[in-house]
Amino acid sequence: MANVDSRRSQLLRGVLDLCLLAVMGEGPAYGYEMTKRLRARGLSIVGEGSIYPLLGRLERDGLVETRREASNGGPPRKYYSLSPDGERSLEAGVEEWKAARDAIDGALDVVKVEVMP
């Protein structure tokens, strides 16, 4: 079971930046808000570490734009949104992912999985 978790963790780590860009595509969001959007789509980051270093890298690479906005009663939050480069990177990344997924499906479809009762 630990091996399965490790594989899932590695797979997610490889595409988490893509997932973050995708949820930013819904609209600007701050860090925890993005975590909640991912969770709503069935992706929990509990076992994968934090998204903050990844957001930092996306910001440094110019794939996201940031701005500070006041939140309800709390301190101003840092909102992340897609930059034009980020949009292009997201499109290219989705194409890459689909190609890889199809190839992997082609390799794994020959395996018949028997579900034990």
Enumerate binding residues for other proteins (CB under 8 A): 30-32, 35, 45-50, 52-57, 59-60, 71, 74-75, 77-78
Return d(Cα 29, Cα 64) in angstroms, integer. 11
**Exposure of 22 in the CB half-sphere (CA atoms within 13 A):** 16
Question: To the nearest whole angstrom, how small is the minimum distance from the Cβ of residue 9 to other proteins?
Answer: 10
Residue number with CB closer to other proteins (32 or 84): 32
Closest CB 40 distance from other proteins, rounded Å: 13
d(CA 89, CA 92): 5
Give the shortest CB-64-to-other proteins separation in angstroms: 12
Give the three-state DSSP class for 29.
strand
